Amino acid sequence: MARKKIREYDSKRLLKENLKILAGIDLQIRVAQVTQSIDFTELTNKEPWLSSTKLVVKLDMLFGKRGKSGLVEMGGCKALITTFIVKPFVPHDKEYYLSIVSKRLGCTISFLECGGIEIEENWDKTIFLPTEKPMNLEACAPLIAKLPLREKIGDFIMGVFSIFQDLDFSFLEINPFTMVNGEPYLLDMRGEFDDTAAFKNFKKWGDIEFPLPFGRVLSPTKSFIHSLDEKTSASLKFTVLNPKGRIWTMVARGGASVIYANTVGDLGYESELDNYAEYSRAPNEDEVLQYARVVINCATTDLDRCKRAFLIGGGIANFTDVATTFNGIIRALKEKESKLKEARMHLYVCRDGPNYRTSLAKMRALGEVLEIPIEVYGPEATMIGNCKQAIDCIMSGA
Amino acid sequence: MATGQLFSKTTQALFYNYKQLPIQRMLDFDFLCGRETPSVAGIINPGSEGFQKLFFGQEEIAIPVHSAIEAACAAHPTADVFINFASFRSAAASSMAALKQPTIKVVAIIAEGVPESDTKQLIAYAKANNKVVIGPATVGGIQAGAFKIGDTAGTIDNIIHCKLYRPGSVGFVSKSGGMSNELYNTIARVTDGIYEGIAIGGDVFPGSTLSDHVLRFNNIPQVKMMVVLGELGGRDEYSLVEALKQGKINIPVVAWVSGTCARLFKSEVQFGHAGAKSGGEMESAQAKNQALRDAGAVVPTSYEAFEGAIKETFEKLVEAGKITPVKEVIPPQIPEDLNTAIKSGKVRAPTHIISTISDDRGEEPTYAGVPMSSIVEQGLGVGDVISLLWFKRSLPRYCTRFIEICIMLCADHGPCVSGAHNTIVTARAGKDLVSSLVSGLLTIGPRFGGAIDDAARYFKDAYDRNLTPYEFVESMKKKGIRVPGIGHRIKRGDNRDKRVELLQHFARANFPSVKYMEYAVQVETYTLSKANNLVLNVDGAIGSLFLDLLAGSGMFTKQEIDEVVGIGYLNGLFVLARSIGLIGHTFDQKRLKQPLYRHPWEDVLYTK
């Protein structure tokens, strides 16, 4: 999915900057970001209000429901809090809610005259604006019809919407904002960007950070693969599921890899499934080599005396040259020969696609040369059969 | 969207952003299906025009290439499908341009990474104008026996294996391209095959949804059942649930939503407050499978049981007499491509050219096996490069330094010599650098510049045959040949050529042996006794010292030395060196902006 959450600090900052430019609205909000490396003197010099007003300090770690949960540990997930947002304390009574969500055929815009944490219970004022229709006062009339500050709020909603589109937000929620001296004042805000628009918007977004969801820390392995993935037009993904599991997979294509994972799960061996890994869209030999190295490294650490199984394969390739990718995998296997033997690794290879015959033959030959058990199948076998074999292998003889 | 067939056996397509392999695959599929005309009518490649050669069956055909979409559509008005292989940066713009063309009805977008806002624009436009967008982020789709998009269904072997060259009764739609392929195989095993299969792509907002295609298939009488493969995330499958509940679909639907393993991703806790009310649980595979089951679709208990469910559904239709047996045909043989056959070891094709001095196929080019980077890193010079490329060995530094000195000394000899003169005249005629250079080089031969080569040849021959200087010179005189390497217009016995002295000095200090040069000096001593200007000149010095370089370095066999002299390596040295000067003269004339040269009449003897 290409929807990336951004910190409240960044959402507010971008909204303030662009509202001025696009809609001539001057948002009177003030925010500062505090991280581990912050220099307080420098910060207070830049933002003098920090030392003169009463402040509110909140976590800026990409999760909502902060008021309700109030804790650092959530749903079994612990992680370090690294970033805070600081804003002036603004006493107010009236709260408003605004959210805009991008949908396939247009956008849903919700506006309510109350805000806060009980929002889910009050869903009635939502309009759907189809893609081809422009945003104007007429369109948002149903949202603000009976309000005293109709004009100001109407302008604000239209301003925020134009920024939503201009900056390629996929989701934006202001819960709540209030009116201070007759002007809108944001209290709390969440945003998500469509990161595929980065190549169009990098100037507008500036130095934006897309932090990982709370609780997800990139291990060195994952960050390496992530950087490989970024650099290529091919697709390389990797996630460790059960570090103690004994079935490892390196499967081509998103669809097939999910099915492999599914099948192992369906056969009841979820806990033995170590990782989710997929490569697709024709990575070249070198990319596959680097990728395979890392996966094999992971698969051969934490040795116990038990057998392990490695499923290499995938469905029938459309255009990825099986020979190229397999050459990369074969090179990696050769390099890691001793590690594989130490880990008592059994390999199960199943693949079809352009040049599959020579590749499978090479794999068979490799198995003989390296004296590692490698079982090789072409289209005559099913991916699922391989899963069964892998399971049988690890369950038999410890 | 709805309505029915998008493609047929006569569908014509335009292919945007030339990629050889997918187009060739489409054409091979066309041939396999027995189509009379190839499905790609034209190619659009911004910045180029002309033709691309591709194979249709055994024959090569030329498909026109246009540089703009409008031009292509005008040239091929019957092409109503636009297959867009542009990268994610330009896919949206080109797809919109295509949709705006009145002749285009279907646009397939292969790229992954098209911004959502752009896709939404395409969706809105297509909807308003009754057009269809397939993708983005898809491999495409295929109508068996009629038309396929790009790389769909992979290799010809796979297509033959799945019998996609003739229509079956199953309509298939999924998000994933890779899994589509797996399922074509499964479906071919347990039913009479695919009628049409579409991969809608993996993006959040697909150009056309799973239910769009399901409803469309519903209107195609040849489709007797449907297979749908969904994925966790999004709510596309729910529109299918709705359609089923409303009784809009009147043929069996076998569906499976993959991704039940997502619960394994512990750390992906969704902290999204639903400002959008997108319930996490509703988008799970389990929920969708249940909803589909409840709405009347045939949903297996696992992916493994999918094949069984499809088989069962198909067999029920056969029993009920709803399936007309497919007329099986034998597809024509598609010849294998030469390079695939070579790669798989089936054929061997002889090469036409042999080359031994350099190799550009690896990480970096090598000269006689030495990588370019080490040449630069070790601080080697032009002489070393010549040593590698001409002699295919790494000569010791004193040799390569000597070569460099020769080049420096021979680089130019003023504007009046034949070569320079020709170059100057050509440059003044307004010709380009290369023409001016070559014009000067063409005067190099037996009378100009060739003396070095000749000197080496004759000195070697004389020395090797043990001729005394006297015998050598007199035999040359008898043959009427001037001894090359001897003689100068100005230099005298008491006013030696500085260049010759420099060369001799360098050689005496560095060469292990200077026997040929000493022989040449002996010859000079004899010739000086005849006339004072018969000194050893630069050509003679270089020629004789070169022989010493070859013989004294210990790196050449006698045969190799004979070969070097016989082929005329020294000629090469002169040509290389003098090019420096000739290019200099060309630049000089151009800087001076000299007009066309005309030789003065006064300087010509006109006679009969």
Beta-carbon contacts below 8 Å between A and B: 203
pLDDT at A252: 75
**Residues in chain A within 8 Å Cβ distance of B208:** none
Q: How remote is the C-alpha of A248 from its chain's centroid? A: 23
A335-352: per-residue pLDDT in tens? 888 888 887 888 888 777
To probe the interface with B, which of A131, A135, A199, A382 has the most B CB atoms within 10 Å?
A131
**Residues in chain B within 8 Å Cβ distance of A215:** 267, 269
B395-412: per-residue pLDDT in tens? 999 999 999 999 999 999
Does A75 contact B at CB distance below 8 Å?
yes
Per-residue pLDDT at A1 exceeds 50: no
Strand B194-199 relative to strand B253-258, pairing: unpaired
pLDDT at A56: 75
B62 vs A4, more confident: B62
- Residues A337, A245: one domain? yes
**Residues in chain A within 8 Å Cβ distance of B185:** 316, 379
- Residues A191, A248: one domain? no
> Is residue A155 helix, strand or coil?
helix
Q: Which domain CATH number covers A18? A: 3.30.470.20
For residue A356 the two structure tokens come to 């599959």
Q: Provide the pLDDT confidence category of residue A80 given band limits of 50, 70 and 90.
A: low
Which residues form the domain of A280? 220-396
Q: How far is A35 from chain B (nearest CA, A)?
A: 21
Q: For A67-71, A307-311, B68-72, which range has the lowest pLDDT when averaged over its residues?
A: A67-71
Residue A237 in any domain: the answer is: yes
Per-residue pLDDT at B263 exceeds 60: no
- Match 């804790």 to its residue by tokens: A71
Residue pair A25/A159 in contact by the 8 Å Cβ criterion: yes
Q: Provide the pLDDT confidence category of residue B106 given band limits of 50, 70 and 90.
A: very high
- Residues A95, A194: one domain? yes
**Residues in chain B within 8 Å Cβ distance of A253:** 176-179
pLDDT at A320: 64
> Is residue B273 helix, strand or coil?
coil
Give the chain B residue whose CA is nearest to the CA of A262: B261
Does A268 contact B at CB distance below 8 Å?
no
Does A282 contact B at CB distance below 8 Å?
no
Does A256 contact B at CB distance below 8 Å?
yes
Residue A347 in any domain: the answer is: yes
Q: Provide the pLDDT confidence category of residue B278 given band limits of 50, 70 and 90.
A: very low
Q: Provide the pLDDT confidence category of residue B505 given band limits of 50, 70 and 90.
A: very high
Q: Average the pLDDT over B329-348 and give the result.
A: 87
**Residues in chain A within 8 Å Cβ distance of B153:** 318
In sign, the C-alpha dihedral spanning B74, B76, B78, B79 is negative
Residue A210 in any domain: the answer is: no
| B13-320: CATH topology | Rossmann fold (3.40.50)
CA distance A337 to A70: 50
- Residues A229, A377: one domain? yes
CA distance A359 to A164: 49
Cβ contact A196–B271 (<8 Å): no
pLDDT at A217: 61
Cβ within 8 Å of B, A 372-391: 379, 383-384
Q: How far is A172 from chain B (nearest CA, A)?
A: 8
pLDDT at B277: 28
Q: What is the dihedral of CA B565, B570, B575, B580, to 10 degrees?
A: 160
Nearest to A262 by CA among A127, A383, A343: A383
pLDDT at B103: 97
Q: Which domain CATH number covers A236? A: 3.40.50.261
When computed from its CA atoms, the radius of gyration of chain B, rounded to whole angstroms, is 39
- Residues A292, A148: one domain? no
In sign, the C-alpha dihedral spanning B167, B168, B174, B179 is negative
Q: Provide the pLDDT confidence category of residue B267 given band limits of 50, 70 and 90.
A: very low
pLDDT at A259: 67
**Residues in chain B within 8 Å Cβ distance of A171:** 275-276
Residue A36 in any domain: the answer is: no
Cβ contact B181–A315 (<8 Å): yes
Cβ contact B205–A239 (<8 Å): no
Cβ contact B269–A120 (<8 Å): no
Q: Average the pLDDT over B166-180 and give the result.
A: 89
CB atoms within 10 A of CB A150: 15
Tell me phi and psi for residue B146, to 5 degrees.
-130, -55
Nearest to A6 by CA among A85, A77, A71, A79: A85
B89 vs A385, more confident: B89
Residue A128 in any domain: the answer is: yes
pLDDT at A290: 86
Q: For A95-109, B13-27, B500-514, which range has the lowest pLDDT when averaged over its residues?
A: A95-109
B593 vs A293, more confident: B593
Sequential DSSP letters for B429-444:
TT--HHHHHHHHHTT-
What residue ranges of chain B are covered by domains with CATH 3.40.50.261? 13-320
pLDDT at B359: 95
Q: Average the pLDDT over B53-77 and give the result.
A: 96
Q: Provide the pLDDT confidence category of residue B217 given band limits of 50, 70 and 90.
A: very high
> Is B413 among the residues known to form the active site?
no
To probe the interface with B, which of A78, A172, A196 has the most B CB atoms within 10 Å?
A196
Residue A236 in any domain: the answer is: yes
- Residues A356, A253: one domain? yes
B220 vs B176, more confident: B220
- Residues A385, A357: one domain? yes
Nearest to B155 by CA among B340, B16, B349: B340
A254-300: per-residue pLDDT in tens? 666 666 776 777 777 767 777 777 777 778 888 888 888 888 887 77
pLDDT at B274: 27
pLDDT at B504: 95
Q: Average the pLDDT over B3-11 and give the result.
A: 93
Cβ within 8 Å of B, A 21-50: none
Does A283 contact B at CB distance below 8 Å?
no
Indicate the number of domains in chain A: 2
First to last CA, chain B: 92
B218 vs B203, more confident: B218
Residue A215 in any domain: the answer is: no
- Residues A326, A190: one domain? no
- Residues A254, A277: one domain? yes
Paired residues of A325 in beta bridges: none
The Cα diameter of chain A in Å comes to: 82
For residue A20 the two structure tokens come to 């001025």
Cβ contact A259–B303 (<8 Å): yes
CA distance B27 to A62: 50
Q: Average the pLDDT over B36-57 and give the result.
A: 95
Q: How far is B279 from chain A (nearest CA, A)?
A: 12
Q: Average the pLDDT over B517-539 and give the result.
A: 92
A30-76: per-residue pLDDT in tens? 777 777 677 777 777 777 777 777 777 777 777 654 444 444 444 45
pLDDT at A78: 56
Q: How far is A149 from chain B (nearest CA, A)?
A: 24
CA distance A385 to B415: 83
pLDDT at B477: 92
CA distance B531 to B535: 9
pLDDT at B458: 94
Q: For A175-189, A288-302, A305-319, B142-156, which range has the lowest pLDDT when averaged over its residues?
A: A305-319
Per-residue pLDDT at B348 exceeds 60: yes
User: What pTM value is reported for the model?
Assistant: 0.77
pLDDT at A72: 43
**Residues in chain A within 8 Å Cβ distance of B275:** 99, 101, 110, 119, 171, 173, 175, 190
To probe the interface with B, which of A259, A270, A276, A284 has the most B CB atoms within 10 Å?
A259
- Residues A326, A353: one domain? yes
- Indicate the DSSP class of residue A120: G
Strand B81-84 relative to strand B106-109, pairing: parallel
Does A215 contact B at CB distance below 8 Å?
yes
- Residues A280, A142: one domain? no
A144 vs B457, more confident: B457
Q: Average the pLDDT over B336-362 and give the result.
A: 89
Helical packing angle, B177-190 and A254-266, nearest 10°: 60
A206-247: per-residue pLDDT in tens? 777 777 666 556 677 777 777 777 777 677 777 776 767 777
Cβ contact A214–B271 (<8 Å): yes
**Residues in chain A within 8 Å Cβ distance of B177:** 253, 255, 318
Which strands sit side by side in the sheet containing B194-199, from one edge to the other? B147-148, B141-143, B194-199, B170-174, B225-231, B253-258
Give the chain B residue whose CA is nearest to the CA of A266: B302
H helix or E strand, kind and range, residue B366: strand B366-367
Q: For A13-27, A86-100, A380-394, which range has the lowest pLDDT when averaged over its residues?
A: A380-394
Q: Provide the pLDDT confidence category of residue B271 given band limits of 50, 70 and 90.
A: very low
Residue A101 in any domain: the answer is: yes
Q: For A376-385, B184-193, B437-446, B498-507, which range has the lowest pLDDT when averaged over its residues?
A: A376-385
Marked catalytic residue, from B76, B161, B213, B273: B273
CA distance B16 to B71: 12
pLDDT at B427: 97
